[in-house]
Amino acid sequence: MTDLHELDATDQAALLRSREVSSVELTGHHLERAERLGPELGAFITLTADRALAAAEQADRRLAEDDPAPLLGVPTAIKDLTSTAGVGTTMGSALMRSNVPTVDAHVVTLMHRAGLVSLGKTNTPEFGLSSYTDNDVVGPARTPWDTSRTAGGSSGGAAAAVAAGLVPLAQGSDGGGSIRIPASCCGVVGLKPSRGRVSAGPVGSEWSGLAVDGPLARTVRDAAALLDVLAHPMPGDPRHLPAPSIPFSTWAAREPGRLRIARWSDPYLPGVSSSPESVEAWQEASRTLQALGHDVVEVPNPFPPELEPQFNRVWSSGIAAAPIPEEALELLQPNTRYWLLRGREVTGAELAAAMQFLESTTREVLVAMHEFDAWLTPTLALVPPAVDWFHETGDPADAHRRELEFTPFTAVYNMAGVPAASLPLHVTAPTADRSALPVGVMLAGRPGEDGPLVSLCAQLEAATPQPARLP
C-alpha cells in the first residue's frame, strides 16, 4: 500500500476531497516525518506543529463545505527568508534569531487563502546569499540521496523536505538559481517563474529584478498547481505580469506542439566545464525531446562572460544596503561578510552601469534567440558536492570560485527575467565512493511564457522513465 507521503500533492488533494483522509491526518503524518527526519537533513529552521494542526482543522471545515480550492488541506512549507507573521523568520542568520514579523508576505497570504497547511520555515543560507545551504542557526541542509552532500541553495531546506517526503511541495525563492540548484541536488522539480509573475510584496523589494518566488515539487503538475496559487498581481507591485488567462495546471495537461529548442552544455564562464554526469543528463533529455518531435538545435552559449562581474556588483550591493550594525559584522558568516564588503566598494554609478549592462545584454540575447521556443542546458555543472566543499579552505573568495564551478548556468535566466525549470530526469549510477545522485536538466522559455514552458516540462517528464522520488 502506498504511504501518504509517497503521493504527490495532486493525489493527496484528491484523497482529501474524497474524504479518504482528513487534513489533520495528512498533516500529522507529515509532521511526524518532519520531526523525525528533518533534523538530519537540516530541512527546517522552525517547525510550527500547533499552527499547522489548527490550519488543518480549518481546512477540514472548508472541505466539508465542498470548497473547490485545488490544494486545500495539503501540507507545505515556507522558506525562512519569507516574512511570516507571528513565526520566527531568521533569514538563516544568527543575528535574526529573535525576528518575528508582524506582516505576511503576499505569497504566504495566497497560500493561506488556498488552504495549504504550512509545517514551518525551511532552511536557507544566511540572507539567501549562496548556492549551498549552511548557516549558524541550524547548520547545513543535506540532500536525502546522500546526507554527506549539500542540498544546494538557497532553497535547500525546501528541496530536501520535498525530496524526503516531509511535504509534497514547498515555496522557494530564486535570485540566481536558488530554486533550481537545490531542485537538481535533491531530485525534485524547481520552477523559477518569469520576472513579475509573483509578487514580492507587501514589504519585500524587487529593486534588482533578479529574485522571484516559485514552487519546488515532486511533479510538474504540482509545481503548476502551486504557481496557480502564487501568480496573482497584488496592489503596489512595481512590475507585474497580468494574471494568467489559462491556469498553469491546464498548461501542464496540454500538449506543447512541435517546438524549436536551442541547446548548449558549455558554461558561459571561461575555465568552467560541465561534468560528464551533467552532460549525460542533458544528452538524454535532448534525445527524448527529439523523439517527441521537437527540433533540437545545437548553438553556442549565447550569454557573454562579461555578465558575471556585473551580476556580482548588483548581488553584493543588495546585502551591502542591509541595515547591519558595524559591531555585528563579526557575527556574520565569512561568506556574508565577503559579499557585504564587496558591495560597499561599489559606487552608485557602478551599480547603475551594472544594472544597465545586465538589461541591455540579456535583451540582445533574447532578440538573437527569439526564433527558439525554449532553451535546454544542464542545471548544474557538478553533482552535489560534499557539505563542507565550499568552505573547506576557509577563504570566501575561493568559496565564490567554487560556486561558479558548481552553478554556471542558472543566474543568466534571473538576469534575463525568463522562466526556467530544473527537472529531475537523471540519476547517476552508484560507485564505490558515492551513492546514486540526482542530476537535473534545465529548460527555459521566453519572457512571460511560463505556461508554454510548463507544458513542455510536463511532456518531457511524462516521456522520461522517472527515478525514485523518495531516496
Gap between the Cα atoms of 251 and 248, Å rounded: 5
pLDDT digits (tens, 9 = 90+) for 203-236: 888 899 999 999 999 999 999 999 999 999 999 9
Residue 83 included in any domain: yes
- For 423-437, the pLDDT digits (tens) are 999 999 998 889 999
Average pLDDT estimate for 47-73: 98
Per the rule left: phi > 0, alpha: psi between -120 and 50, beta: everything else, 28 is alpha
pLDDT of residue 317: 97
Is 84 part of any domain? Answer: yes
pTM of the model: 0.98
In this structure, is residue 323 part of a structural domain?
no
- Residue 317 in any domain: the answer is no
- Write the CATH number for 271: 3.90.1300.10
* Predicted local confidence at residue 204, as pLDDT: 82
Phi, psi angles (nearest 5°) of residue 158? -65, -45
pLDDT at 197 over 60: yes
Region class of 428: left (phi > 0), else alpha (psi between -120 and 50), else beta: beta
Tell me, yes or no, whether 315 lies in a domain: no
Of the pLDDT bands very low, low, confident and very high (cuts 50, 70, 90), residue 471 is low
pLDDT recorded at residue 470: 61
Q: How confident is the model at residue 274, as a pLDDT?
A: 98
pLDDT band at 1; cut points 50, 70, 90: low
Query: What average pLDDT is seen over the chain?
Result: 97
Report the pLDDT averaged over residues 256-267.
98
HEC per residue, the chain: CCCHHHCCHHHHHHHHHCCCCCHHHHHHHHHHHHHHHHHHHCCEEEECHHHHHHHHHHHHHHHHCCCCCCCCCCEEEEECCCCCCCCCCCCCCHHHCCCCCCCCCHHHHHHHHCCCEEEEEECCCHHHCCCCCCCCCCCCCECCCCCCEECCCCCHHHHHHHHCCCCCEEEEEECCCCCHHHHHHHCCEEEECCCCCCCCCCCCCCCCCCCEEEEEECCHHHHHHHHHHHCCCCCCCCCCCCCCCCCHHHHHCCCCCCCEEEECCCCCCCCCCCCHHHHHHHHHHHHHHHHCCCEEEECCCCCCCCHHHHHHHHHHHHHHCCCCCHHHHHHCCHHHHHHHHHHHCCCHHHHHHHHHHHHHHHHHHHHHCCCCCEEEEECCCCCCCECCCCCCCCCHHHHHHHHHHHCCCCHHHHHHCCCEEEEEEEECCCECCECCCEEEEEEEECCCCHHHHHHHHHHHHHHCCCCCCCC
With both helix axes pointing from N to C terminus, report the angle between 450-463 and 276-291 in degrees, rounded to the nearest 10: 100
Q: What is the tally of structural domains in the chain?
A: 1
Q: What integer pLDDT is reported at residue 469 of this predicted model? A: 52
pLDDT of residue 2: 82
pLDDT of residue 138: 98
**Per-residue confidence band for 341, with pLDDT thresholds at 50, 70 and 90:** very high
CA distances from 231 to 76, 449, 451 (A): 17, 13, 12
Question: Mind listing the pLDDT tens digit for each residue in 68-95?
Answer: 999 999 999 999 999 999 999 999 999 9
For the segment 8-12, the average pLDDT, to the nearest whole number, is 98
- The parent domain of residue 97 ranges over 4-307+340-463
Q: Which residue has the cell 564505490?
A: 432
Q: Which three cell numbers stand for residue 439?
A: 542530476
Cell reading at 314: 548588483
Tens digit of pLDDT for each residue in 165-188?
999 999 999 999 999 999 999 999
Residue 119 CA to residue 76 CA, distance in Å, equals: 6
| Residues taking part in catalysis | 79, 154, 178
Residue 271 CA, distance from chain mean position: 26
d(CA 453, CA 444): 7
CA distance 430 to 450: 35
pLDDT, residue 205, reads 84
Confidence label for 467 from pLDDT (cuts 50, 70 and 90):
low
Residue 280 and residue 248: Cα distance in Å, rounded?
30
Does position 391 have pLDDT exceeding 60, yes or no? yes
